[in-house]
Amino acid sequence: MTTTPLSVAVIGAGMAGRSHAAAYLNANTVFGPGLPPVRLAAIADANVALGEDAARRYGYERAYASWEQVAEDPSIDAVSIVVGNALHRPIAEALVAAGKHVLCEKPLAGSLDDARAMVELERSTDLVTAVGYTFRRNPSIAAIRDHARRGELGDLSVFQGRYWCDYATDPRGPLSWRFKGPKGSGALGDIGSHVIDTAQYVAGPIVAVMGASLSTQIGKRPLPLGAVVGHDAAPVSDELGEVENEDSATFTARFASGLVGSFSVSRTAFGLPNGLAFDVLGVGGRAAFDQNRPAEYLFDDAQPEARTRGARQIIAGPQLPYFKGGMPMEAPGVGGGNSENFTYQARAFLDQVAGVADPLPACATFADALRTMEIIQAVVRSADNDGRAVDVTAVTVREDHR
């Protein structure tokens, strides 16, 4: 393991970019002293004022006006890409060519062709290439995965996943890049990718989808008068433009185990700012998670005493993955949320980069994220063909990146 300081940068200073920036700031405060010192080198954003503000807030040395400056900076070792999906491929290729490790936000790319090229890039390098599926780092979700993998739910019989958000419910919301692009790049790509990844993390690989339906609730939106940051409101004109992708999607999926699951995704779900939730049931138990209560989960198993059987609320504490060593106050009931998930993800990524002897579980790979995109494309094909079943193309995952 190297003891040389790791120099990190973030490309993108919006909502998610700031989450990555804060995560690197905190990466050495969790899980012991195994990681080398982390140098907070730069934040890059074409919106210079936004980048400078993020650099100031999170203690980065400088703000760059372009991602190219990060690629050209020989002192930077590892970089988070947190910009529009269509830019992921060219930035990742330039960073890898410059010898830098890459943590890319999901979805992997703006198109399947770009995503496949990024997987080939991953196969061609010994650098760490990772994708930001932060829900894998939630202690409750990780605990549910452990229950399932240890057989404590019995053979799985039901999976129901949903990700309902309300960021697109206002018809006066600006027509940002999120609403442009082919079917599958809307709610499915933005938030559906998270619930699909979570489902596979808990219940194993999805091999086919069927019964898919896509819909758009708000077909036209006003054109923005300037840059739009994240999901923020922005000044808009009176001119309307067409929304090109889906607001909502539903589908059924078949897992490799034979399990069949149902999924619902929407960015126009009123009153739910961040509503990822799922239920997983087996013949011997069940578990459920709701992001609105992220520091707990429901668990019910076949206890021998009938009078004590029933669903139990499990409060996150040191008995769960990530919690012990990952929280300043290691006591049940102190909470937790997205910020901690990003910190644990950053630490896992840097563990891989530094070759830590006892690392956190590795991040998702480009190949993992390509598979999620292929599932999304299968959903689109199913919806275009009256809901018929569509097989998901197998993707080979580099074992050394697991």
> For the domain that residue 125 is a member of, what is the CATH number?
3.40.50.720
190 in a domain, yes or no? yes
In this structure, the answer to whether residues 12 and 149 fall within a common structural domain is no
CA 255 to CA 368: how far, in whole Å? 15
In this structure, the answer to whether residues 61 and 157 fall within a common structural domain is no
Give the 3-state secondary structure of the chain. CCCCCEEEEEECCCHHHHHHHHHHHHHHHCCCCCCCCEEEEEEECCCHHHHHHHHHHHCCCEEECCHHHHHHCCCCCEEEECCCHHHHHHHHHHHHHCCCEEEEECCCCCCHHHHHHHHHHHHCCCCCEEEECHHHHCHHHHHHHHHHHCCCCCCEEEEEEEEECCCCCCCCCCCCHHHCCCCCCCHHHHHHHHHHHHHHHHHCCEEEEEEEEEECCCCEEEEECCCCCCCCCCCEEEEEEECCCCCEEEEEEEECCCCEEEEEEECCCCCCCCEEEEEEEECCEEEEEECCCCCEEEEEECCCCHHHCCCEEEECCCCCCCCCCCCCCCCCCCCCCHHHHHHHHHHHHHHHHHCCCCCCCCCECHHHHHHHHHHHHHHHHHHHCCCCCEECCCCCCCHHHC
In this structure, the answer to whether residues 71 and 157 fall within a common structural domain is no
| CATH number for position 308 | 3.30.360.10
Taking each helix axis from N to C end, the angle separating 193-203 and 139-149, rounded to the nearest 10 degrees, works out to 40
398 in a domain, yes or no? no
In this structure, the answer to whether residues 184 and 209 fall within a common structural domain is yes
In this structure, the answer to whether residues 39 and 131 fall within a common structural domain is yes
In this structure, the answer to whether residues 187 and 128 fall within a common structural domain is no
Residue 356 · residue 92 · CB < 8 Å: no
Choose one of 135, 161, 188: the last residue of a domain.
135
220 in a domain, yes or no? yes
pLDDT at res. 309: 74
Q: Which regions in the chain score pLDDT beneath 70?
A: 1-2, 230-232, 304-308, 394-402
In this structure, the answer to whether residues 184 and 265 fall within a common structural domain is yes
pLDDT at res. 207: 96
201 in a domain, yes or no? yes
Evaluate if pTM is beyond 0.85: yes
Choose one of 94, 116, 135: the last residue of a domain.
135
Asked, as a colleague might, if the bond just before 107 is cis with ω within 30 of 0, I would say yes
The tally of domains found in the chain comes to 2
pLDDT in tens, 71-80: 999 999 999 9
Show Cβ contacts of residue 188 under 8 Å, excluding neighbours closer than 6 positions.
214, 246, 249, 265, 376, 379, 380
In this structure, the answer to whether residues 151 and 120 fall within a common structural domain is no
399 in a domain, yes or no? no
Report CA-CA distances (Å) from 97 to 86, 90, 91, 117, 151: 19, 11, 10, 14, 43
What strand order describes the sheet that includes 285-290? 312-315, 296-301, 285-290, 275-282, 156-164, 260-266, 248-255, 206-215, 390-391
Choose one of 100, 135, 170: the last residue of a domain.
135
388 in a domain, yes or no? no
Candidates 392, 342, 345; CA nearest to 370 is: 392
Name the residue range of residue 321's domain.
139-336+374-379
In this structure, the answer to whether residues 153 and 126 fall within a common structural domain is no
Residue 336 · residue 139 · CB < 8 Å: yes
Candidates 386, 39, 343, 40; CA nearest to 211 is: 386
In this structure, the answer to whether residues 291 and 227 fall within a common structural domain is yes
pLDDT at res. 2: 63
218 in a domain, yes or no? yes
12 in a domain, yes or no? yes
In this structure, the answer to whether residues 80 and 153 fall within a common structural domain is no
Candidates 188, 373, 155; CA nearest to 260 is: 155
In this structure, the answer to whether residues 302 and 153 fall within a common structural domain is yes
CA 274 to CA 162: how far, in whole Å? 11
pLDDT in tens, 375-388: 999 999 999 999 99
